Amino acid sequence: MTNQKMKLFVTISALLFLLSGLVTAEEIRIRVAVETANIRLKPDFESLVIGQAPLGATFESDQKIREWYRIKLPPDEDGVVLNGFIHESIVEVLPPKEEEPKLAEKKPKVEIPAVIEAEKKPEVPQEKKALPKPKERKPEPRLPREKAGPPSKIEISLKTGGLLSLGSMNVEDVPSDLYTGRWSPWFGQGYTDFTWPGETPVSMDSVIGAPVLRQGAGLFTGAEVGWNFHPRFQVYAAFCAYFSGLKFNGDAWDTVEAVISDSVDVITSNGREVMYNNNSENSGGKTYLISVGINFYLLTDGPVIPYLLVGAGMVLNSGTPSISYSLEQTYSGTSAAYSLDVTYDKKIAFAPVFGLGAKKYLGSFFGVKAELKGILAPLYADQNVKTTFTRETSSWTPYTDYEGTSAVQKGSRIILDLGVGFFVTF
Task: Work out the mean pLDDT of the chain and round it to a whole number.
Answer: 78
Which tens digit of pLDDT belongs to each residue from 389-408? 777 766 666 666 778 888 88
pLDDT at 351 > cutoff 60 = yes
Q: Is residue 174 located within the same domain as residue 285?
A: yes
Q: Is residue 167 located within the same domain as residue 236?
A: yes
Burial 38-54 (b: 16+ CB within 10 A, else e): bbbeebeeebebbeebe
* pLDDT reported for residue 105: 42
Q: How many domains does the chain have?
A: 2
Q: Is residue 214 located within the same domain as residue 355?
A: yes
Q: Is residue 271 located within the same domain as residue 337?
A: yes
Residue 265 structural domain: 147-425
Query: Widest CA span of the chain, in angstroms?
Result: 152
Which of 140-144, 293-297, 339-343 has the lowest average pLDDT?
A: 140-144
Which of 8-17, 194-203, 235-244, 253-262 has the lowest average pLDDT?
A: 8-17
* pLDDT reported for residue 145: 41
Q: Where among 101, 125, 141 does a domain terminate?
A: 141
* pLDDT reported for residue 359: 95
Q: Is residue 20 in a domain?
A: no
* pLDDT reported for residue 138: 55
**CATH code of the domain covering residue 37:** 2.30.30.40
Write out the DSSP string of 38-106: EEESSSSTTSPEEEEEETT-EEEEEEEETTEEEEEPPP-TT----EEEEEGGGEEEEPPGGGHHHHHHH
In contact, 204 and 184? CB cutoff 8 Å: yes
**CATH code of the domain covering residue 262:** 2.40.160.20
Q: Is residue 78 in a domain?
A: yes
Which tens digit of pLDDT belongs to each residue from 18-35? 444 433 446 788 999 988
- From the number of C-beta atoms within 10 Å of its C-beta (0-12, 13-18, 19+), residue 273 rates as exposed
Q: How far is CA 277 from the centre of its chain?
A: 45
* Phi, psi for 44 (deg, rounded to 5): -155, 140
Q: Is residue 255 in a domain?
A: yes
Average pLDDT over residues 13-17: 48
Average pLDDT over residues 47-59: 89
Closest alpha carbon to 412 in 207, 243, 211: 211
Residue 297 to residue 145: CA distance in whole angstroms: 11
Q: Is residue 213 located within the same domain as residue 300?
A: yes
Residue 373 to residue 220: CA distance in whole angstroms: 12
Tell which wins on pLDDT, 155 or 209: 155
Q: Is residue 271 located within the same domain as residue 386?
A: yes
* pLDDT reported for residue 95: 86
Tell which wins on pLDDT, 15 or 414: 414
* pLDDT reported for residue 372: 97
Q: Is residue 127 located within the same domain as residue 248?
A: no
Q: Is residue 15 in a domain?
A: no
* pLDDT reported for residue 148: 39
Residue 81 to residues 76, 77, 291: CA-CA distances in angstroms? Answer: 7, 10, 47
* pLDDT reported for residue 402: 78
Average pLDDT over residues 119-132: 43
Residue 201 to residues 24, 185, 260, 397: CA-CA distances in angstroms? Answer: 104, 11, 9, 18
- β-partners of residue 235 are 227, 294
Q: Is residue 117 located within the same domain as residue 160?
A: no
* pLDDT reported for residue 350: 93
Q: Is residue 17 in a domain?
A: no
* pLDDT reported for residue 9: 55
Which tens digit of pLDDT belongs to each residue from 359-381? 999 987 899 999 999 999 888 88
Average pLDDT over residues 36-54: 88
Q: Is residue 108 located within the same domain as residue 196?
A: no
* pLDDT reported for residue 396: 64
* pLDDT reported for residue 376: 93
* pLDDT reported for residue 149: 39
Q: Is residue 397 in a domain?
A: yes
In contact, 245 and 282? CB cutoff 8 Å: no
pLDDT at 150 > cutoff 60 = no
Q: Is residue 4 in a domain?
A: no
pLDDT bucket at 260, cuts 50 / 70 / 90: confident
* pLDDT reported for residue 135: 57
Write out the DSSP string of 258-269: HHHHHHHHHHHH
* pLDDT reported for residue 339: 83
Q: Where among 141, 164, 187 does a domain terminate?
A: 141
Closest alpha carbon to 332 in 399, 390, 392: 392
Q: Is residue 163 located within the same domain as residue 132?
A: no
pLDDT at 319 > cutoff 50 = yes
* pLDDT reported for residue 112: 34
* pLDDT reported for residue 1: 45
Average pLDDT over residues 123-150: 47
Q: Is residue 226 located within the same domain as residue 262?
A: yes
Q: Where among 141, 161, 187 does a domain terminate?
A: 141
Q: Is residue 13 in a domain?
A: no
Average pLDDT over residues 200-217: 82
Tell which wins on pLDDT, 274 or 125: 274
Closest alpha carbon to 187 in 75, 49, 78, 327: 327
Q: Is residue 223 located within the same domain as residue 129?
A: no
pLDDT at 147 > cutoff 50 = no
